[in-house]
Amino acid sequence: MSALVVVGTQWGDEGKGKIVDLLSERADGVVRYQGGHNAGHTVVLGRETFVLHLVPSGILHPGKLCVIGNGVVVDPAALLEEAGHLEKRGISVRGRLHVSSNAHLIMPYHKAIEKESERLKGARRIGTTGRGIGPAYVDKMARIGIRVGDLLEPDLFREKLMANLTEMNYLLEQLYKVERFDLEKVYREYIGYADAIRDYIADTTLIVNHWIDEGKRVLFEGAQGTHLDVDHGTYPYVTSSNATAGGACTGTGVGPTRITTVVGVVKAYTTRVGSGPFPSELKDDVGVQLQERGHEFGATTGRPRRCGWFDAVLVRFAVRVNGLAGVAVTKLDVLDACDEIKICIGYRYLGTTLNEMPSSLTALEACEPIYETMAGWRCSTTGMKSYDQLPIHAKAYLSRLEELMGCRIFLVSTGTRREEAIVLDDPYTLRG
């Protein structure tokens, strides 16, 4: 039995989709444990590119079973659209995908509230996708959320919807000065989804624990990254759920003693989308080149990502809070054209040197990066599948990253395609 959790170690967009896709080949089941359809995992298979938002990446492997856990917030329209697109492209979904009855629904008023809330924040805006994820989690914690299983009980669903709209419509009209939602219209729309997703809905806690009981190999995938975690990230510029490894337990109903290994995914440089501190951000031509070479535009929104050098302080924090046994390094090939490569090894703050991230957002925003410079390799690594093929300076760079992160590298991705990877160790057998 092996229960493996895969997490992002930066601000998301580390290339988890490809890594989860690779690891899914040897898994029996793949489980998504948090987030919503604001995240996008991109997987390239041959000449085809798949962008997944809610459905776990394991769905691209024939016969693999997939679960959307209770920790995910679900927009039923988005789920059905994504499943439909996959089916049209020859990827069977029905019968292979289970959705937790306890996952919370994203409602139309969640999207409206998020959009207007961001607008009113002005310069303080967080940079959300406007898809209602944050407000859906707010309702969950306020104990007024509507869950996927409620769609199968029309009277209960109507009762909850009516109570919520009384409050939400007042907020929309009085504070945000926008149009209210009609009870009957929303009710008919969502009850219309019930029959379409009925076969997906299940008690997924039972399913996943049974898999583990039976000795099956289970892969847990998170969305976003460690520094977007609502508790451990650069708050308030974070997502609304626990993207760190602990979220795999609360988001699926699997006890922590049943998780055998946690591994991370880290980009060979650093990116982030939206607002928030970013000590190693590059606002010069080098940053633009990384963005262009790395195709750094959001898989879900198309928004350009801010780019910077690798931040070892940032990743060391992720190694610690997730208890990582190993990391996969992605997009090494994006650095192929660099004459020299810098690594942020610490921060300078008010005349002092910091080797760990400050807990204060104000302090982090004022931190300046301390760089170590390494020679670039100035040749293509794209598609390499053997560590011995790598240029000597690329090997030196990876070795230095291991030292600075305090964590071994088990895989190096050298391109977008599934087969473009150097496997150094078996993540299913790694132990921290």
Q: Which residues have a catalytic role annotated?
A: 13, 41
Provide the token pair at 80: 């059905």
Provide the token pair at 77: 């329209």
Q: Do 414 and 333 meet the contact criterion of CB atoms below 8 Å apart? A: yes
- Which residues contact residue 237 at a Cβ distance below 8 angstroms, ignoring those fewer than 6 apart? 126, 127, 274, 275, 276, 277, 361
Where does 122-226 have alpha helices with state H?
133-141, 154-174, 183-197, 204-213
Give the span between the Cα atoms of 247 and 253, in whole angstroms: 10
Quick one: CA torsion of 373, 377, 382, 387, rounded to 10 degrees? -90
Q: What angle do CA 95, 100, 106 make, to 5 degrees?
A: 110
CA-closest candidate to residue 367, choices 258, 287, 269, 279: 279
Q: Supply the DSSP string of 24-55, one letter for each residue.
A: HTT-SEEEE-SB-TT--EEEEETTEEEEESSS
Give the span between the Cα atoms of 416 and 45, in whole angstroms: 9
Give the span between the Cα atoms of 309 and 71, in whole angstroms: 32
